[in-house]
Structure 1
Amino acid sequence: MSAPTTPTTAFALALLSLEGVGRVTAHRLLERFPTAEAVRAAPREQVLLRLKGVAHADRTVAAVCAPSFEETLDEARRRLDALRERQIHVLTPGAPNLPAGLDALDRADRPVVLYAFGDLKALGWPSLAVLAAAPLAAEPFERAQDVARAVLGRGRGLVVGAAHGVDLALQKLSLGAGVPAVAVVGAGLARLERSMRPGATALTRAGGLLVSPFPMTHGPFEHDDRERALVQAALGRAVLAVAPPPGSPEDRAAAWATSTGRPVALLPPAPPEADWADSAHRVIEAEAVAEMVA
């Protein structure tokens, strides 16, 4: 069964369908006005003040207040009904299952809509976000699995990617340990690589969850890896960065995690050019990383 939707869910989808409305505009509106009715009931000056500095704010508010916006909302509701039939969860600001960790992301990076398939309870599991991109050398590949085993052995979960290599290996370790995993897809859920689908099916049947910050048929595009890595880091209570190349999405997501005060471990140590906080530490013992996942 898909997660129940709220009036904000349809409003968020409808907002994003308007020309010129992106994440920053949508978040700034939704933080104060959770529905179209709330926008219309407020003095126009108050709404525009909320959007101060946003391009085309007048046009956006006028579009929401126009009678034709009801058709846009109806279309959003139809899309939600279709997704519900496919058992796709659609999480928007204010939804009880939307992970609080995402709030630490800047508005420009924070998803307005999070799409998910599987058991939403996996989002509440204390988890380690493992940031690793294929291909990995043999040593960091094996050490990442050692850390994962230590985390899983304590009954903690993993937040991984949804690609071949270390992501798939860690998904299999989670299945073997009987601990739900969360896999973040770097494209829309419908664009998950075909060869990864059997593993994704096994993951969700075992209580895990696939999530994506992108619309269902979006991508895949290489430039979206940055956002995927940030969402992955935001969903973990702690982060393990595995041999991240300087400037890579994983490197930048790990740097972001240290800036928020999240515990971050490195395998091996940070690249020379890394802009990470001194609080990030090198992994010496796998158990030490497991202890970071409260």
Structure 2
Amino acid sequence: MDADELAAWLRLLLTPGVGRESARRLLGAFGSPQAVAGATRAALAEVVGPRQAAAVAAGPPQLQAQLAAVGRWLEGGSDRHLLTLGDAAYPQPLLESPDPPLLLYVQGDLGTLGVTALAVVGSRKPTAQGLDHARRFAGAFAESGFVVVSGLALGIDGAAHEGALAAGGRTIAVLGTGIDRLYPQRHVDLARRIAAQGALVSEFVPGTPPLAENFPQRNRIIAGLGLGTLVIEAALRSGSLITARLANEAGREVFALPGSIHAEQSRGCHALIRDGARLVETPAEILDELRRPAGLLQPAPRPRLRATPRSAADGPHAPRDPAAAALPGGDADEDPLLQALGHDPISLDSLQARTGWPTSQLLARLLELELRGQLVRLPGGLLQRRGLA
């Protein structure tokens, strides 16, 4: 893409008051962004009306600065790419979705966009079991040759990316910011590992900060990239339910993992199941469902990728602080042991692995919870949290 074409694309997409639908109408009428930029105001008005025609004719006020920002980003490495709808590398499932981005910034391996993908999304404040489920399901999908798509958010998104990477697979993180503005800060290292073993994707011009209104927009890209979307824990009002709705509108499969009736994080999944989402309990159920019809895309065979090394602080042998206030993604105001227990039955060994606490300290705290009526002991040596979330 040369500088004139890039300037025409940015002029079309960044002009205030001209949305994606109007931009598509203009492209349909004139054939290219350069032709739109060269059209008269009268010709533009015949397609989008006089007010938007005037805006397009004027162009965005910071066009030169934005053009320079995109140029600097592209020059930052050979793994940086800018795709339009007509590019061969533009992902076909996204192209066939109801609202594909007209311009896509990609950092990483372009080949990742051509592999059949599954989206995994969920709560930013998951239970301990939810994090385990996200890693396990994403790992199984990656081992089966699928790319795992998620949104780099704290909680389920991050765990899904981690699960795919740990399995030696590939993953795509769809950002709600400019591709050079990694958010949240806690996932900067994760994003770098994703770029090395998959791809980062954004429709927002470099330099775009984390704005609340942009994150629901990026959800349609997550839904559009995947052959199906799995929701693991979601509240009744959450971005994950938006992603599920968008996936359904795009004609993609929607799967939901049931959870405890006592957990707020399960209510969104239960609502999806009531509305027709497929209830699943194992990764195999999803893989079998997607592979059943003869005409569906199959994941391409691939050599197993070596998982990108994690930083020492994130590694499996990273030191644990028994006095830590909360698990990642959890509610810092809640007892950390209750967070670690989650809402499903758990063995003492698994609980100790989750907390990293010495046996004597863990047993003492469990006794406290049992005496307060917040813990019950089940057959088989299992423990379970008791009461409402």
Q: Is TM (by shorter chain) over 0.5?
A: yes
Q: What is the alpha-carbon distance in structure 1 between the residues aligned to residue 70 and residue 2 of structure 2?
A: 8
- Asked if 2 retains the 8 angstrom alpha-carbon contact of 1:189 and 1:216, the reply is yes
Matched with 1:90 is: 82
State the Cα distance separating 1:22 from its structure 2 match: 2.7
Q: What is the alpha-carbon distance in structure 2 between the residues aligned to residue 290 and residue 247 of structure 1?
A: 28
Q: What is the aligned counterpart of 1:198 among 184, 189, 192?
A: 189
Q: Who wins on radius of gyration, i.e. which is larger?
A: 2
Q: What is the alpha-carbon distance in structure 2 between the residues aligned to residue 55 and residue 196 of structure 1?
A: 44
Q: What is the alpha-carbon distance in structure 2 between the residues aligned to residue 49 and residue 198 of structure 1?
A: 49
Q: What is the alpha-carbon distance in structure 1 between the residues aligned to residue 206 and residue 75 of structure 2?
A: 14
Matched with 1:287 is: 284
> What are the within-5 Å matches in structure 2 for residues 112-151 of structure 1?
112-151=102-141
- 1:261 to 2:258 alignment: no
- Asked if 2 retains the 8 angstrom alpha-carbon contact of 1:132 and 1:166, the reply is yes
- 1:25 to 2:17 alignment: no
Matched with 2:223 is: 233
Q: What is the alpha-carbon distance in structure 1 between the residues aligned to residue 15 and residue 274 of structure 2?
A: 37
Matched with 2:32 is: 35
- CA displacement, residues 150-189 of structure 1 (integer Å, 9 cap, x when unaligned): 2122121100221333333322322232222101122222
State the Cα distance separating 1:55 from its structure 2 match: 6.2
- Asked if 2 retains the 8 angstrom alpha-carbon contact of 1:11 and 1:73, the reply is no
Question: What is the aligned length?
Answer: 280
Q: What is the alpha-carbon distance in structure 1 between the residues aligned to residue 202 and residue 128 of structure 2?
A: 29
Q: What is the aligned counterpart of 1:160 among 150, 154, 168?
A: 150
- RMSD, aligned CA: 3.1
Distance 1:237 1:106, change over 3 A: closer
TM-score scaled by length of structure 1: 0.80
Specify the SS of the correspondent of 2:165: helix
State the Cα distance separating 1:201 from its structure 2 match: 1.7
Q: What is the alpha-carbon distance in structure 2 between the residues aligned to residue 246 and residue 60 of structure 1?
A: 39
Q: Which moved more, 1:9-18 or 1:258-267?
A: 9-18
- CA displacement, residues 49-107 of structure 1 (integer Å, 9 cap, x when unaligned): 432xx56133146447xxxx9x9987665444322212332223322222233345555
AA at the equivalent of 1:224: N
State the Cα distance separating 1:210 from its structure 2 match: 0.7
Which runs of 5 or more residues in structure 1 are unaligned?
none
How high is the sequence identity, in percent, across the aligned residues?
Answer: 29
Matched with 1:58 is: 53
Distance 1:79 1:224, change over 3 A: closer
Q: What is the alpha-carbon distance in structure 2 between the residues aligned to residue 79 and residue 91 of structure 1?
A: 16
Distance 1:264 1:6, change over 3 A: farther
Q: What is the alpha-carbon distance in structure 1 between the residues aligned to residue 273 and residue 281 of structure 2?
A: 21
AA at the equivalent of 2:189: P
AA at the equivalent of 1:199: L
- 1:102 to 2:94 alignment: yes
State the Cα distance separating 1:233 from its structure 2 match: 1.2
Distance 1:5 1:98, change over 3 A: farther
- Asked if 2 retains the 8 angstrom alpha-carbon contact of 1:255 and 1:276, the reply is no
Q: Which moved more, 1:281-290 or 1:263-272?
A: 263-272
Distance 1:75 1:201, change over 3 A: closer
Q: What is the alpha-carbon distance in structure 1 between the residues aligned to residue 14 and residue 46 of structure 2?
A: 22
TM-score scaled by length of structure 2: 0.62
Which runs of 5 or more residues in structure 2 are unaligned?
260-267, 292-297, 299-389
Specify the SS of the correspondent of 1:158: strand
Matched with 1:175 is: 165
- Asked if 1 retains the 8 angstrom alpha-carbon contact of 2:179 and 2:206, the reply is yes
- Asked if 2 retains the 8 angstrom alpha-carbon contact of 1:117 and 1:209, the reply is yes
AA at the equivalent of 2:195: T
